[in-house]
Homo-oligomer: A and B are copies of this chain.
C-alpha cells in the first residue's frame, strides 16, 4: 500500500540531472520520454473534449501514480484497474473513481474489495455472474457501504462478460434488486480487435459489435434500465468507436506510451497531431566481437515476448533488428556499412507489448532529450 513511500530509485539515481546521463544508464532500464508522454496525454484529452466521451484510462499498463495523476490533471474522470492489488495502490495514492474491469470473485479478494469500497470514493467493479452478485451482497450484508457495479457484456472476446442480451437484462435486474449494489451501467470491451491494422478493417470488424451494443442499449432504455455508464474501447479503436456515439467513456491505456504494436497500426482522424512512442528499454552491448552483430543484456526478462520483437531505436543503425537470445540476452544485427556500435555502448528499443513489458520493471527512467530528469516507481507492479 505504501510502496512509493519506501521507493528505492535504484542504481541510476546519481544520473538524474546530469547532462547526457541518459545515454549510459545501468541497464536494462525502462526509459520514458516525459515530453512525448505529456503530448500523448494532451492529445487524448483534446479528443475526449471534442467528442464528448470521457476518458477513464486503464492503469494496468502504466501501473503508475505519477502517470495517472497527469491523466487526471488533463481531464480523466478516474482510472481503470484490472486487479484488486492495483486498485489498492491507486487508492492509497489518492486516486478516486476507480473502476475494476475484471470480476473479483474469491473470498479473500472480495474482502479486500469491500474494505477498499469503504475507504475509496466512487469505486466500481464489473460483475458477470449472478453467483458473484449474490456473494458480494452477502459479504456487504446489512450495514456495509453499497458497491457500484457495471454488468460486463461479452462482445465476442469469449473471456469474461455475460453472453446474450436476455442474460444481460436478467443480471442487471438482479443488481437493481440488490440493495447492497448500485447499478452504474455496462462494460463492453473488444480487446481482440484493438490491433486490426487498418482503419477500414477496424470499422468493419467493430461494426457488428456497435450494432449489438446499440440494440442492447435500446432494449435497456425501453425496460427502464438505461445505463449511466457504457465503458470500453482501447487505444486501437477509440477513434472509430467515438463516432458510433455508444460509449460514455473510454478505457484506453496504451496511448501514453504507444508500443510497437500500436505504432504499427494505421491511426484514425484523431491522430492528426500524432501519438508518438514514449517508452523505451535501454540495454548495454556486452559482446561486439562479430561484424554487423552485437549482443545486448536484455532478453526474456526485459521484454514481453508474446507480441513480437522490440524495434531498435537508433537512427544511426538503420535497418537494425533484434532477436531474443535467452533470459538476459538479445542479438542486434545491423549493416556495418551504415553504422557502428561499440562494446559497452547502450542501445534503446521501442518496446513490444507495453503492459507486460512495463510489468518487468520497478522504475521508469524519465528523460527529456539526453537528460535523465526523474525516476518514478512502477507502483502497481506485481500487485
Nearest B residue to A328 by beta-carbon distance?
B82
Which of A33-67 touch B at CB < 8 Å? Answer: 60
Cβ-defined contact, A160 with B343, below 8 A: no
Cβ-defined contact, B300 with A356, below 8 A: yes
Cβ-defined contact, A344 with B284, below 8 A: no
Residues of B within 8 A of A259 (CB): none
The secondary structure that dominates the A interface is loop
Chain B nearest Cβ from A106, distance in angstroms? 5
A203 interfacial contact with B, CB 8 Å? no
Please state the number of chain copies in the assembly. 2
Nearest B residue to A135 by beta-carbon distance?
B344
Cβ-defined contact, B286 with A102, below 8 A: yes
A143 interfacial contact with B, CB 8 Å? no
Residues of B within 8 A of A84 (CB): 26
Neighbour of A343 across the interface among B26, B105, B159, B284, CB < 8 A: B105
Known: A11-B85, A27-B106, A129-B288. 19 other contacts (CB 8 A): A26-B84, A26-B108, A60-B328, A82-B327, A102-B286, A102-B297, A103-B287, A105-B286, A129-B289, A131-B343, A131-B344, A159-B326, A159-B329, A160-B295, A163-B289, A191-B326, A300-B306, A301-B359, A359-B360
A-B contact pairs, 19 of them (CB 8 A): A6-B6, A11-B112, A24-B107, A27-B106, A82-B327, A105-B343, A109-B284, A129-B289, A132-B344, A159-B325, A191-B326, A300-B306, A300-B353, A300-B355, A300-B356, A306-B306, A306-B324, A327-B356, A327-B359
Which A residues form the contact surface with B (CB < 8 A)? 6, 11-12, 15, 24-27, 60, 82-85, 102-103, 105-109, 112, 128-129, 131-132, 135, 157-163, 191, 284-290, 295, 297, 300-301, 304-306, 324-329, 331, 343-344, 346, 353, 355-356, 359-362, 382
